[in-house]
Every structure is written in C-alpha cells, then in structure tokens.
Amino acid sequence: MAERGTRPSVTPVPAVLTVGVEEEFLLLDPVTGESLPVADRVLGALSGHSRRQSRPEFRHSMVEMVTPVCTDLVRLRAELLALRRSAAEAATAAGARLVAVAATPVCEPHRTVPDKDRYRAMSRRYGPVAHDPAVCGCHVHVGVPDRELAVQVCNRLRPWLPVVQALSTNSPLHDGHDTGHASWRSMQFDRWPSVGPSPYFVDAADYDRTVADLIAAGVMLDAAMVYWYARPSTAYPTVEVRVGDVCPTVDDTVLVAGLIRALVATLVDEVHAGRPAPRVRNCLLAAAHWRAAHDGVDGELIDLARGGTRPAWELVEELYAVVTPALLRHGDLETVRGQLDRLRHEGTGATRQRRAMAASGGDVRAVLDRLAADTVRG
C-alpha cells in the first residue's frame, strides 16, 4: 500500500529518464592561485551554445555551465567537455584559469556579490556567511515530471545521498592547507540555514507548507533558497540532487550523474510498488553526511540501514547493486562500472589533490596546475 498522503503519479514516467548537469567553476590566478573577479569578462567572451548554457553565480570569481537535457551519458559527456573547454578558453583570454575545484584553495581577496537585487538582499540578511570564500557544486537533474512523485523520490534518496557525496569529494584544501576533510565545501556551505539533508515530507502540500513557513520565518528569502541535498527543482520538472562537489574531470561527473539517474529511476519504481520510504533519524542522517564529507571513500561511512560504520567502498558497491537494473535499462551499466573501477584505482578528486600536494612537497600551485589540466581533460 502507498504511504499515507501519497497519490499515484498523474504524469507517465518514461522508461529512460532525462538527465542534465549544472557545474560551478572557480576562476583562479595562474600564478598565485588566488580567485580572480573576472566572471563578467569570461561570460562575455562566450558565444553561441556555450553562452546560452552559461550562468553568472554568487561570486565574481565563479561561473556556472549548464548542459542541455540529455537522454544518454555519451551525449552528456560530450556536452560537459565542450562547455568546460569553451569556458576555459574564455577564462584564459581574461587572464584566469577555469578550475573544477569545490572550495577556494588559496584565498579570495574580492568577496563582494554581483550587483543584483537578490544577491544584495542575501548579503544583508546573512552577513559574513554570504561572504565566505566561494564554493562550487555539481547539481544533477533527473526528469520526474510529476511533482508529487518527485517529493516521494526525495524521501527515499535520503539514506543514499551520503554515499553519493563521498564519491564526489573534491575540496580538501582551504587557505593553502589540507583541512583534513575530503569536502571542505560541505563544511563551509553548511553555515547557510537552508542547507542540509532533505527533510521527510508526507506529500507535495507538506513540502510547500514547510517552505512557506521557512520563508515567513526569514530563514529563506524565497523558494529558490531551498538548498537541501535533494529537492523538486524550482525551475524544471526534475528531481535535483545538489549534494556533490564539482567533480575534477568530466568522467567523474558522468559517473555521479549516471549513478544518480539510476538511483532516481530505482526509487520511482519503489514508489509505484508502494514500498515505504525508510524513516532515518535526522541526527544520524546529518552525521552520515559529516562523515562522508570528512572521509570521502578513503575511510568509513555510516551505514544508516544497519547502524555503525563500514568501509566506504562496501556501501558504494551496495548502491551499485541496488541500481544495477536501472543502469541496464538506461544502457549505462558498462560506463558506470568502468568509471567506478577507475575511481577506486585513482581516488576521488580529494585523494588526487592530496597525492599531488605530497608529490610537490606541499606546493599548492602544483595541485592547481593538475586541477586545471583535469578540468578540460577529454
């Protein structure tokens, strides 16, 4: 039987779900590694498809590139690579480097927000939190055209997202030093009051009431400030998963996107089968995300189903097993399996940054050289 408060989807869900990705990037000084406030120049230098798929961000030293809606990972990869390379060329022309790194690695001297009413309002409301050094995420959209269904999928995503977060970790550095966290972006971003694990909602009306209450309380300025790790998108008919760091390479992004699409497809089937969403205590869920941000996949993660901690890769393989039928249905099994094996051998972006740091004797600029090359690697 379906959960109380749910209703059947009124919009048919196709066998193959669409996928799209938003990636945020830093613009760094090629010599010092400091963030450079040249986003306007970079965006202005883009043209055609790349310009249409670009977005300004909350910092003058950030740009966002957005893929079109895709139905297969081959096209998604091609779009990601083309957009990264176009943005990197524009950054070079502006005297900067486009770098796929999720937290400011050295420093950001210029932290004023762009001249937009909404950004100025955020600056006034949240004060120093709005002027933290820039962070960059990877947001994956999966087509779920029925909003009621999207809310139920988000309920079921809750226990799996720490595993996805661990796989995407790519920000161990801050102020030129290793923070001890695989994702410092997660620690820094958590200062915003509307960031965190997605709450459990009975239905879409419950979701809407909660968001309205938070806006009325002054926690959020508007519904676009729902920064939970998964949400029904405010702009598209999708489930948006926004837990991950921006990934260092397009292959890393394709892996994360492929896993998320398969997971969403699996959970859509669970909703239709009437299987209830697991009710995970919020304190344990928050702890699981902290552990994922701290260890990545190099240590242990909290097993929210059985309790305690387990080696991270055991939980990754459990996730893979759960979504294998959906990977097969979407034609993604071989790609995702190959990329998981590669990641297990190479390590996440955080692991690779630490390896490069050690090899260079602690030279952050050498790490950034590697990251800039990885950003556009084909």
Run of H or E including 310: strand 309-311
Amino acid identity for residue 4 in this structure: R
**Per-residue pLDDT tens over the stretch 234-248:** 999 999 999 999 999
Question: CB-based contacts of 318: which residues, under 8 Å, 6+ apart?
Answer: none
**Per-residue pLDDT tens over the stretch 88-137:** 999 999 999 999 999 999 999 999 899 899 999 999 999 999 999 999 99
SS percent in the chain: helix, strand, coil, step 5: 50, 15, 35
Task: Look at residue 8 and tell me whether its pLDDT is greater than 80.
Answer: no
**Per-residue pLDDT tens over the stretch 318-367:** 999 999 999 999 999 999 999 999 999 999 999 999 999 999 999 999 99
Task: Look at residue 2 and tell me whether its pLDDT is greater than 50.
Answer: no
Backbone angles phi, psi at 337, to 5 degrees: -60, -45
In this prediction, residue 6 carries a pLDDT of 47
Share of the chain above pLDDT 90, in %: 95
**Per-residue pLDDT tens over the stretch 144-153:** 999 999 999 9
Asked if 238 and 157 count as a contact pair (C-beta separation under 8 A), the reply is no
Task: Look at residue 20 and tell me whether its pLDDT is greater than 50.
Answer: yes
Q: Closest Cα partner for 17 from 150, 121, 134, 138?
A: 150
Task: Look at residue 295 and tell me whether its pLDDT is greater than 50.
Answer: yes
Task: Look at residue 4 and tell me whether its pLDDT is greater than 70.
Answer: no
Q: Could you identify the residue written with the tokens 């760091």?
A: 245
What's the Cα-to-Cα distance from 319 to each of 48, 109, 182, rounded to whole Å?
39, 41, 20
Cβ atoms within 10 A of the Cβ of 30, count? 16
Does the predicted TM-score (pTM) go above 0.75?
A: yes
Asked if 349 and 248 count as a contact pair (C-beta separation under 8 A), the reply is yes
72 Rama class: left (phi>0) / alpha (psi -120 to 50) / beta: beta
pLDDT band at 10 (very low <50, low <70, confident <90, very high): very low
**Per-residue pLDDT tens over the stretch 124-138:** 999 999 999 999 999
**Per-residue pLDDT tens over the stretch 158-192:** 999 999 999 999 999 999 999 999 999 999 999 99
In this prediction, residue 11 carries a pLDDT of 63
Question: Which domains can be identified in the chain, with CATH numbers?
Answer: 19-373 (3.30.590.20)
In this prediction, residue 14 carries a pLDDT of 86
Task: Look at residue 3 and tell me whether its pLDDT is greater than 90.
Answer: no
Bridge partners of 195, per DSSP, are 227
Share of the chain above pLDDT 70, in %: 97
**Per-residue pLDDT tens over the stretch 243-286:** 999 999 999 999 999 999 999 999 999 999 999 999 999 999 99
Helices 349-359 & 364-375, crossing angle to 10 degrees?
140
Q: Closest Cα partner for 41 from 22, 23, 54?
A: 54
What's the Cα-to-Cα distance from 160 to each of 198, 280, 311, 328, rounded to whole Å?
11, 11, 15, 20
In this prediction, residue 309 carries a pLDDT of 98
